[in-house]
Amino acid sequence: MTRSRALVASAVLFVAPQALAGEAEIKAAVDAAARTIMQQHDVPGLAIAVTQNGERHLFNYGVAARDSGLPVTDDTIFEIGSVSKTFTAALGGVAMHKGLMKAEDPAGGFLPWLGDSALARTPVMNLATYTAGGLPLQFPDSVTDDASMQAWFAGSKPKGAPGHSRQYSNPSIGLYGAAVAAAMDGDFAALMQREVIQPLELQSTFTHVPDERMDDYAWGLNRDGRQVRVNPGALDTQAYGIKTTASDLALFLEAQMDAGSLDGGLAQTHKPQFQVGPMLQAYGWEIYEDPADLDALLAGNSTDMAMKAQDARPLDTEPPLPHALYNKTGSTAGFGAYAVFLPDRQAGIAILANRNYPNADRIRAAHTILQAMGAID
């Protein structure tokens, strides 16, 4: 693993000495992006990691908790919301690579409690790509534990046949994660630790932050200005439960750009399955064939894409696209995250904040930084 070079900017945007080619331009772009985000959206703290050709640059701004005033550091742990879905996809890729699961396998083959429901007959690939027939964005309030969650899935009646429309859904990929864990005959969190987090040497990535790292766990700021952390919920770990540092998330992106990572398991997640408007839906990741097309990125990460059903055109046996851009946004009530990488340029960015702010501003910030890196025109 390449040793990282940390470039740390404080809340007053301290300029560190420059040593690497292009470092000044990258730092200027990151500083400007961070300043804009924090000022426009009253963000307490921000951590940005930039990776290029295995070299990591870390930039920290502001505070990890507004009440304590403790600064964001390389060790600050953030909630990453739906970027967690790419970790669930990674575990699924491992299961598929080991021959424990195939894309076309019906979910009921792993989860007998689905009974004879429509979801029992739904291929797991459709659960992972939100194309199972219209599962909602969130569970209803009536789902409060495993028993009510299982009963709700077993009684769900999809709006249509799998594979025709995409409806972004936490329950959908949550059910995929449950099927993956069943296929691997284990507890989801334990499997994530053993099969993904440990092999990739992600030393500050957790499904549950341990007691000895709680002092590093940032507090988010919600829309009412209250300090918050994510609440537990049904299949939360699978859909939005990972907590990590900017450095670890950048290391995860570096692994994504290595075709041999997890013995090829990660490559399984990069194959586009559906064309959905301007983007290609893969397992967890959303793909754009023209990395420089900012308008397409903004459209693909819009509120409509998250909240409304979209037509989905199946793609047959599409290989991974090394020249494309792969991205994922994620949010909880008090945190906002963005992860993006370009395999052929060996470039990636992780942006973590302890406030949920608009996706469009995350996209624009990363786009500007990628231009400074020379990764896009």
pLDDT, residue 6, reads 37
168 given a catalytic annotation: yes
82 given a catalytic annotation: yes
**48 forms bridges with which residues in the sheet?**
59, 351
Cβ atoms < 10 Å from Cβ of 22: 12
CA separation for the pair 19, 221 (Å, rounded): 35
Instruction: Compute mean pLDDT per 10 residues along the chain, 377 residues long, and list them.
Output: 39 35 87 98 99 96 98 99 99 98 98 97 99 97 97 94 97 99 99 99 98 99 98 97 99 95 93 97 97 97 97 86 95 99 97 99 98 95
On whether the CB atoms of residues 50 and 210 are closer than 8 A, the answer is no
> Which pTM was predicted?
0.94
The structural domains of the chain, with segments of one domain joined by +, span 17-371
State phi, psi for 79 to the nearest 5 degrees: -75, 140
283's CB contacts (< 8 A; 6+ apart) are: 89, 92, 93, 125, 128, 129, 268, 269, 270, 271, 273
Helices marked H in the chain: 23-41, 84-97, 124-128, 146-155, 170-183, 188-192, 236-240, 246-256, 294-300, 303-307, 359-373
Q: Which position among 4, 61, 82, 176 bears the catalytic label?
A: 82
State phi, psi for 190 to the nearest 5 degrees: -65, -40
pLDDT, residue 320, reads 79
- CATH number of this structure's domain 17-371: 3.40.710.10
Q: Which position among 61, 130, 168, 326 bears the catalytic label?
A: 168
pLDDT, residue 317, reads 66
On whether the CB atoms of residues 27 and 17 are closer than 8 A, the answer is no
